[in-house]
Amino acid sequence: MKRGCGNQAVEDAAKKAKEAIDAAPTTEAKSQPTRDRGKQAIADVTPVADAKPQQKRLLNKRLMLRRRAIEADKNPTREEKDAAISRSEIVATQRLQRPPLPKLAII
């Protein structure tokens, strides 16, 4: 599956699919394979929006590891540990709420 394709790629795939459907036979049994190929061509260029859930999983895992490291440290007091955990949670929440950085084109 192609990722990060622009609208032009989607429009081109949709145009090809429509042309193939228009040129296909009119009976249901004969037109179904062409219709399926057209739908698949569109699905192949449609980007998958899985970055945000993946980012959340990674951030939650890092937060869990950070909590464990704080709890395992014997030097700080309970109040210091609670403050450090709270700061870590605040930073994680802020990172989840800010929009992702745009991908820059390398020239």
Rounded to whole angstroms, the Cα distance separating 86 from 82 reads 6
Rounded mean pLDDT, 76-96 = 90
Greatest CA span in the chain, whole angstroms? 77
Judge contact between 10 and 45, C-beta under 8 A. yes
What digits encode the pLDDT tens for the residues 36-76? 887 887 777 766 666 678 888 888 899 999 999 999 999 99
Provide the mean pLDDT of the chain. Answer: 78
Judge contact between 56 and 92, C-beta under 8 A. no
Q: Is 25 or 78 the better-scoring residue by pLDDT?
A: 78
Rounded to whole angstroms, the Cα distance separating 53 from 60 reads 11
- Per-residue tokens: 75: 């030097």
Nearest to 37 by CA among 12, 13, 11: 13
Percent of the chain at pLDDT exceeding 90 = 23
Q: How many C-alpha atoms does 56 have within 13 Å on its Cβ side?
A: 4
Rounded to whole angstroms, the Cα distance separating 101 from 42 reads 27
